[in-house]
Amino acid sequence: MNCPVCGRALEPMTVGDLTVDVCRGGCGGIWFDRLELAKVDNEEEAAGEALLDIERSPAVPVDLEARRRCPKCRDIVMMRHFYGPTRQVEVDECAQCGGVWLDAGELAAARRQYKTEAERRQAAHEFALNVFRTQLGGPPPGRLGDPPPHLITVDRLLRFVLHRP
């Protein structure tokens, strides 16, 4: 596979029981196959530490606005979206294979969003409640009681999008 940013050959890199593909000596990006990113995306997951300092060349230009083609599917332009409800990190995801491309520095930013999995779940829950209140006309804070079916649907959708159980 080749890097979707600079065209360099991606190299496999194993951390713990996870093997990802990295652009070592090029742009410093990382390719995660479907659901792999969830194994290293918060600070309590030690295996992710080794992926924070991929060697990169300052001579390789990186256009963060450019659309990226999936390195695995080749003909598919990946979707760019925020990773997590805080909307601080943008990632590129292939709609066909579910793989995710992170530019240099994005894994570190994703890991800083939440220290633990419990923090991530709490943030997703609060985001769902906020959407329910502001976008779906739900009751104000403190007056929820049992969540209505459409809030449960929104919560399940967010968990699916965030790749979380």
Residue with tokens 């530019």: 103
Query: What was the pLDDT predicted at 46?
Result: 76
At residue 84, the 3 state secondary structure works out as coil
Averages of pLDDT over runs of 10 residues in the chain (165 residues) are: 97 94 97 92 78 94 94 96 82 96 93 76 74 63 59 70 59
What's residue 150's pLDDT?
Answer: 66
List the domain boundaries for the chain: 11-113, 117-161
- DSSP code for 75: S
Type of residue numbered 13: M
DSSP state letters, 19-46: EEEE-TTBT--EEE-TTTGGGTSSTT-G
> How far apart, in whole angstroms, are the C-alpha atoms of residue 149 and residue 16?
40
pLDDT of residue 147: 61
pLDDT tens digits, residue range 56-97? 999 999 998 999 999 999 999 999 998 877 778 899 999 999
Please tell me the predicted confidence (pLDDT) of residue 70: 98
pLDDT at 5: 97
Strand 90-93 vs strand 79-82: parallel, antiparallel, or unpaired?
A: antiparallel
Q: In this predicted structure, what is the pLDDT of residue 79?
A: 96
> What SS3 state is found at 77?
strand
User: What pTM value is reported for the model?
Assistant: 0.73
